[in-house]
Amino acid sequence: MNLENPTIQVKVGSEQRQPDLSKAVEQDFPELQGAYTPPIDIHEGADGLTLEADLPGATERNLHIHLEDNVLNLYAKIDSPAPEGARLVYEEYRLGDYHRSFILSDEVDRERINAELKNGVLRLFLPKADRARTRRIEIKERDQ
């Protein structure tokens, strides 16, 4: 099942079950083995988790988000900002891909996952599934 949203694609589960997702990710992207761990913030609200990650250079095309069972995987393959043959004169950061994996404790409502990418920051909203969310039960008064 693929969930489409206006900015990036979130892949939830897969038709063919993968025994180990991280291994599957590394098979698809062998160069991710030496990938960087991007810094993240996680905010927990009553409705779910909001995750923010600094991913400069990540685009809608190169950023992949996988959620299988309760394992969330983020990965992005970053293109060099310099033209081919350019000589690196001064370096403070090394160009690299990103990879990060999380285990979610609460069940996520997969239908309502929302992701947006703005100025190199990913904001991913993972709503709690109804089962995990505290629900208010409305009591209806019956007309007499």
Q: Where along the sequence are the contacts to other proteins (CB under 8 A)?
A: 39-45, 49-50, 52-59, 81-83, 85-93, 95, 117, 119-121, 123
Q: Which residue has the tokens 């062998």?
A: 30
At a CB cut-off of 8 Å and minimum separation 6, what does 93 contact? none
Which residue lies nearer to other proteins by CB, 12 or 104?
A: 104
Which residue lies nearer to other proteins by CB, 86 or 137?
A: 86
Output the smallest distance, CB 62 to other proteins, in A.
10
- The string over 40-55, giving b where at least 16 C-beta atoms fall within 10 Å of a residue's C-beta and e elsewhere, is eeeeeeeebbbbebeb
Tokens of 33: 């083995």
> Max Cα separation, the chain?
83
Output the smallest distance, CB 121 to other proteins, in A.
5
Output the smallest distance, CB 60 to other proteins, in A.
9
Which residue lies nearer to other proteins by CB, 93 or 134?
A: 93
